[in-house]
Amino acid sequence: MKIQAPTLTPVLIAACVAVAFRTSLGDDRSALEPLFIAGRGHTLLQEIAAGEVWRLLTPIFIHFGPVHLLFNMMWVWDLGREIEKRNSPWFLAGFVALVGISANIAQYLASGPAFGGMSGVVYGLLAYIWVRNRLDPNAGYVLHQYDVLTCMGWYVLCWTGALGPIANWAHTAGLIGGLAWGYLETMLVAARGGLLRRPQFVPQTEAPEKSAQSSQQTSVVRRFFSGSLFISLAVLAGLVALVLLLR
C-alpha cells in the first residue's frame, strides 16, 4: 500500500484555528451564530430548509478556549494523518463529514444548538483505527494502547459532569460511528478475501478452503467482540450517566 503525505489533515486544523480567531475562541457570540447548527429560537429543519446546510457540519470547527482547541488539534493531527496517509484525502473528508454531522445532530437533539468542537470526530477517528487494527492484521494503523486508555478515560470523566457542560452525545455518536464504519469496512475487506490468513492445522477430513474461510470469519468475530468490551462498557457508562442526570 502506498503511503501518502497528509493534505486534508492540516487543512482541517487550519480551519479550526481560523474559526477560533474569528470567534475569539468562542467568546464572540455574533460570529458564532452562523456556525451553530441552528440559530437561537429556530429548529434544525427550519435552518436547513432555508438553505443553510453548512450548519450541519460547521459546529465541529468551533472551539471554546485554547485548551479545547489544542487538545482536539493534537488528536486530529495524530489520528487524521494515520487515516489519510493509508487511504486518501477524499476518504478522510467523507469520514469527517459523515461522523461530524451525525455527532452534531445527536448533540443538538440532546442539548440544543449552542455547542462546538472536533471531539466527536476525534472519537470517531479513534474508534475506526482501533477496530480496523483489531480485526485486520493488515490494516497497519499506528495506535498506542495508552492513547486509547487516555481517550476512553476522558470520555467517562466527561459523562460524570465534573468538567462542566460537555458535548457528551457528540462524543458518543462519534464513537459509535467510528466503530460501525471500521467494523463494516473490515467485513467488506474480509468478503473480498483481503484479510491475512494465519497458518493453522487443518484436519485431512475437512476441505482446506472451507476450513480456512470458516476459521478466518470466526477469528474476526471473536477478536471484535472480545476487544470491543472496553469501549462498549465506556459507552454504557455514558448512557447510564445521562439517565442519572435526567432523573
Task: Tell me the catalytic residues.
Answer: 119, 171
Q: What angle do CA 97, 98, 101 make, to 5 degrees?
A: 80
Q: Give the list of residues 6+ apart from residue 67 with CB closer than 8 angstroms, or none.
A: none
**Residue 55 burial by Cβ neighbours in a 10 Å radius (0-12, 13-18, 19+):** buried
How far is the C-alpha of 125 from the C-alpha of 180, rounded, in Å? 11
Range list of β-strands (E), 160-215: none
Grid coordinates representing 207 are: 476441505
**Selection from 105, 234, 228, 74 nearest residue 170 by Cα:** 105
